[in-house]
Structure 1
Amino acid sequence: MNIDAEIFPVSQYDAAALVLARELPDTWLTRAEQERAASLGASGARFVAGRLLARQLASTMLQLPAEELTIQTSCATCSSTLHGTPELVLTRSDAPGFVKYQAPRWAMSVSRSETHVLVGLVTTPRQQLDGRVSIGVDLTSTDTKGESTLRALDVSFFEEEGLWSVPTRAQWWAMKEALGKARGTGIVPTVPNIFDPGGFTPADINRAHVSPAMPSVPGHVSCGVVLYEKSGELELERRQLFLK
């Protein structure tokens, strides 16, 4: 179910071309990020570009210095900090406007294609939220190679596509990836069903289509999902969907 923005934590989204990372200092990277980049071989450069741009985009959203922001990850399955769900952290514990000695932390999500990076951020720090929030984003290419890859997937991954008026597999895949990231489960071992009890209705998807909240990325579909459980409420988890 989509929830009106006035009763939901504010989330923002932005994207950038990876080539723009050439102008950003790699001193922003943590040691863990440097080690992960080294382990990725040829794709390490794209990982670095994505992380640098994610900081830059988040810096603009929050109006905070990019060099004071770091991205920390944790995996709920294996407890690794080298991969998993990302979280944005302000390294200064005495920053004006925040509780002293409590480093502000923001729910965030990052998606990277071969050419661009997409960032989603809940702009209220976790410490100030009345409940639990998570966010997931995905950037899916619509070029010939991407469409060919999606067409080759088992049809069971797209069991919902006949129920909506815009049944492109790139859009379905972006929604599945974003929902899986927001849940913290990803798409392994089970690809999420958009219409399951913890997902969305056809009406939700039609309202979210071509959402102004999402950036337009040439040659891509972009999607954002926010899940929110407010403290003290007995109702089911609130869910918000953005798609372009």
Structure 2
Amino acid sequence: MRSEKHSAVGLITPGTEPCWSATRLSDAALYPEVLLNSIEQQRARSYHEGTPRQNFSNGRILVKVLAAKMLNRDREPSTKLSPADLTIEQLCPGCASTRHGNPRLRLPDRGGSLTLSYARTGGWLVVAVSRAEQLLGIDVADAADPAFAPGSGELLDDYAFSPQERAHLQRMNLPQRIHQRASWWSLKEAVAKASGVGLAGEDGIPIVEGDGKHVLLSSPGTRILALNSHTPDSLGHLLPDTLVGTLLWAPRSTK
């Protein structure tokens, strides 16, 4: 069920609807004082040296920066949070590993935790924060990525989309098809993140159109916001024209 309410700046708070924001990964250079903790440094070393490792490190820094900015909007100056006050935690419900699994944002001074979701693509980062009682997933895709283009796009169709989704795509003209592939891919990723099973779950890549649609998408408690260059984030920023995304949230009790 799609939300009919498009977010305006300042309307989304962690107590009601998710906050979300976007920025360029290169903006991490503006915050040299924000450092990775030892666990994040270890994870960074698992990425190939160069751009992959830098993108991970920049993303972790900016998740904390954007989260602090969003959470500080309604705080008094004396209670404002620093990015250094925030900790990104992960826990896998299957194996209890802290190296993967759905992330949470730990607040300082026994302030509890918030649900957290984030994604990187095309040199950009998107971050969403919501109250702990909500399922949350955010993702963004670059429609200019060759993966969504003619030829390579058909290869993506073979494994990423159901037969009904592929039939729907074939009825579109080429620009519409490319845009829809990217949009649906971001929705599938957001569903996978919110459900906690990922794209490799036992049910496979979530179906978002036609028969067999993922249960989250048919729940009356689920809300979806389409993200694009016309949708201001919670801090008033806009995505570039080629990026499309999805913010999905639902009650944690949703099955």
Deviation at 1:106, TM superposition (A): 0.5
- Tell me how far apart the structure 1 counterparts of residues 91 and 134 of structure 2 sit (CA, whole Å): 16
Structure having greater relative contact order (Cα 8 Å, sep ≥ 6): 2
- The 8 Å contact of residues 137 and 177 in structure 1, kept in 2 or not, is answered as yes
- Give, as a single letter, the amino acid of the residue that structure 2 aligns with 1:142: A
Instruction: Encode CA deviations 1:5-33: one digit per residue, 9 max, x unaligned.
Output: 79x83201111001110122365322111
Deviation at 1:2, TM superposition (A): 4.4
- State which of 207, 221, 225 in structure 2 corresponds to 1:193: 207
1:152 and 2:174 correspond: no
Deviation at 1:213, TM superposition (A): 6.0
- The 8 Å contact of residues 148 and 156 in structure 2, kept in 1 or not, is answered as no
TM-score normalised according to structure 1 size: 0.75
- The 8 Å contact of residues 64 and 83 in structure 2, kept in 1 or not, is answered as yes
- Tell me how far apart the structure 2 counterparts of residues 155 and 58 of structure 1 sit (CA, whole Å): 37
- Tell me how far apart the structure 2 counterparts of residues 26 and 186 of structure 1 sit (CA, whole Å): 33
- The 8 Å contact of residues 136 and 182 in structure 1, kept in 2 or not, is answered as yes
- State which of 128, 142, 150 in structure 2 corresponds to 1:120: 128
SS of the residue aligned with 1:72?
Answer: strand
1:30 and 2:37 correspond: yes
- The 8 Å contact of residues 207 and 214 in structure 2, kept in 1 or not, is answered as no
Task: Identify unmatched segments of 5+ residues in structure 1.
Answer: 94-101, 127-131, 231-236, 239-244
- The 8 Å contact of residues 26 and 52 in structure 1, kept in 2 or not, is answered as no
- Tell me how far apart the structure 1 counterparts of residues 159 and 147 of structure 2 sit (CA, whole Å): 18
Deviation at 1:170, TM superposition (A): 0.4
- State which of 17, 27, 39 in structure 2 corresponds to 1:20: 27
Root-mean-square deviation over aligned CA pairs = 3.1
Deviation at 1:65, TM superposition (A): 1.5
1:52 and 2:61 correspond: yes
- State which of 72, 82, 98 in structure 1 corresponds to 2:89: 72
- Tell me how far apart the structure 2 counterparts of residues 197 and 47 of structure 1 sit (CA, whole Å): 29
1:180 and 2:203 correspond: no
- Tell me how far apart the structure 2 counterparts of residues 226 and 200 of structure 1 sit (CA, whole Å): 10
SS of the residue aligned with 2:217?
Answer: coil
Instruction: Encode CA deviations 1:105-134: one digit per residue, 9 max, x unaligned.
Output: 000101011401110111x4x3xxxxx312
TM-score normalised according to structure 2 size: 0.72
Change (3 A) 1:84 1:59: same
- Tell me how far apart the structure 2 counterparts of residues 209 and 39 of structure 1 sit (CA, whole Å): 33
- State which of 227, 232, 237 in structure 1 corresponds to 2:250: 227
User: Among the aligned pairs, what percent are the same residue?
Assistant: 27
